[in-house]
Structure 1
């Protein structure tokens, strides 16, 4: 870059899944868009693997769903296990959905699919200020060599992940909390003997242990640490603690023997009070709402933010060009402000619902007191054999999202 770039309708900050999808959809809808990314190279990936039915439906028009499903495992059901006994199941394939399953794919597959057709991101650029004015937004950024760049645009979308909240910290308030829970995770290239197309969730006295299908017969394993402490030499390495949990909680020494490494992670919850600032700055994805990955809805929320925002911004541009001419700046129409306000209400409501569900999942995944493990397991199993099973089925399929 050699100077300020002002000739674009929308500037998207962050080229992760949500930002890349938004940029691709805007370009598909005829909107000029610039995509900025602080990282100089594409990310190697993250924990997110599951794509839920509303997301698959929302991405279908742009072709991303077909590209994702070509490299994904399909999960139509999950089972709950307590004390080595299957107590019940949830089935997405009995819900009236266009895609009655969760698609499991490496994040690299998802990012490639949703970014197809997006402009190449301008990399190595760190945005340091976003300053909204009545008819424009001024954005300042720095490159690695210390040079400063400036954009003056109509609309800015912050899609940077949690770190992007710093860009709007003086413009909007929110709530944030870190959970004490710590987890270990690994991906196995193969997992002989695991039930095909089935997620296995083990609950009980030692905390949750999860096993999710991956493409090609692999499995993702996630366990809650027995202790809140990490790095305790007496507890062995991350991989050893994960293997021990798989062997004891999931009662699968075969899977445990395949664990070679493990990645620890913590969780937090953060929700902004608004996602639209001054009518010209939007915040999406983890920058706006960060929820526990236990339940797998964080990336899905961000993708739905992007998929639903793109047509709102495209429609505003079309109306503006018809009424004012391509080169004239004009204020947003009442119709656009109303559509944007409705988008914000829907996405905030969806994020709050997802956060509550994630919080419940986190609570259920903590160790249960030994005396109640058997009766709670029996109660859970009984509920899952009644029509009450439709509630978790709908919840885990993101059926309570406003987009669903």
Structure 2
């Protein structure tokens, strides 16, 4: 059994996009940390892909924007369509510069970039092949136990532990932090296909009466298709997705090269607190929102910025104020998470099967051809989360 001195200020459980970015933020502020990640390599598929302007601004603060801009594809416009006509357009170019677009970047690329940037700062910060087992909280420290392929019951002592280990967070569960919410009836099938459309770098959202179809460009000549389904499809296949697209839009995806297919349902969950003693939560460990709108990963990165600032503020401060500082982190990010969840609910409602789609389409057409279209663009790019509206 290996023991280390309690000299690591922060240990992060989970080295996905959120845990990696938190580590970068901490190291940039001179706060040493370690990340325990079970996977040895980045995820093998595209998964979360939309990087919003607010996140690009956070990346710029820590000097990691350029590799994302080189690898990603800039989406400057979204088009809303019914089965047979255009309802309107949203121009992200009219939003705040310089990041007046959504950057499409597959998650495997995002994780690789973040791993590389973290290695430049500290080659020992990321411990891969490490399976978190448990933690024991003491008055002045937290002792974390984990295992690797080489050795079990390894221990590392830290001032704080941060759970960035996803919606089924073991850190949250062991801290006895309640996680409440609900599962929606909404289900979807999605796949990445070779781009055979004429949309180029634009995103397209179709709103036929049978349910939403989203169509987003990806780097390397690919395009993500997301289709609303009447029920969960346990074994998604290319033929099923292609049949749904053809039935609703008349567009042919049969025989088109596909690299990823999956089905998913929708959940909304929120931890009762993001801070309990020396245990903190960020990302999906703290909040789960609908993936429709692609804001969950970005919300986690926003957690990281505030949490890193909190740790930096507490450096050389009396530890008695830590509880207040982290309570403010929890309360602030809870408010933002609830707002993001409300926006996601609106997106889902607009994409559901409609008995009378005329009224929904009329509403959207009016919004996209009025002064509100700039506000709509800001909502889709995660602006205004600190305001009262929506």
Q: TM-score normalised to the size of structure 2?
A: 0.90
Structure 2 runs not aligned, ≥5 long: none
Tell me how far apart the structure 1 counterparts of residues 349 and 254 of structure 2 sit (CA, whole Å). Answer: 25
| Residue in 2 that maps onto 1:290 | 288
| Residue in 2 that maps onto 1:175 | 180
Tell me how far apart the structure 2 counterparts of residues 5 and 109 of structure 1 sit (CA, whole Å). Answer: 35
| Residue in 1 that maps onto 2:353 | 367
Tell me how far 1:176 sits from its aligned partner.
2.6
| Residue in 2 that maps onto 1:48 | 48
Tell me how far 1:333 sits from its aligned partner.
5.0
Structure 1 runs not aligned, ≥5 long: 321-330
Contact 2:282 2:303 in 1 (8 A): yes
Tell me how far apart the structure 2 counterparts of residues 170 and 24 of structure 1 sit (CA, whole Å). Answer: 25
SS of 1:347's equivalent in the other structure is helix
Tell me how far apart the structure 1 counterparts of residues 261 and 15 of structure 2 sit (CA, whole Å). Answer: 27
Contact 1:53 1:100 in 2 (8 A): yes
Matched positions, count: 381
Alignment of 1:7-156 (within 5 A): 7-115=7-115, 116-118=117-119, 119-144=124-149, 147-156=152-161
Tell me how far apart the structure 2 counterparts of residues 87 and 263 of structure 1 sit (CA, whole Å). Answer: 29
Tell me how far 1:352 sits from its aligned partner.
0.7
| Residue in 2 that maps onto 1:382 | 366
| Residue in 1 that maps onto 2:212 | 208
Contact 2:54 2:383 in 1 (8 A): yes
Cα–Cα, structure 1 residues 5 and 127, in superposed 2: closer, same or farther, change >3 Å?
A: farther
- State the Cα deviation string for residues 118-170 of structure 1 (Å, max 9, x = none): 44422233223233333222222234567212232111111011121564355
SS of 1:163's equivalent in the other structure is coil
| Residue in 2 that maps onto 1:327 | none
Alignment of 1:229-244 (within 5 A): 229-231=232-234, 238-244=237-243
Deviates more, 1:93-102 or 1:255-264: 255-264
Cα–Cα, structure 1 residues 194 and 333, in superposed 2: closer, same or farther, change >3 Å?
A: farther
- State the Cα deviation string for residues 96-118 of structure 1 (Å, max 9, x = none): 24311100011122122333134
Cα–Cα, structure 1 residues 339 and 98, in superposed 2: closer, same or farther, change >3 Å?
A: farther
Tell me how far apart the structure 1 counterparts of residues 312 and 336 of structure 2 sit (CA, whole Å). Answer: 22
What's the Cα RMSD here?
Answer: 2.3
SS of 2:11's equivalent in the other structure is strand
Tell me how far apart the structure 1 counterparts of residues 139 and 307 of structure 2 sit (CA, whole Å). Answer: 21
Cα–Cα, structure 1 residues 315 and 122, in superposed 2: closer, same or farther, change >3 Å?
A: same
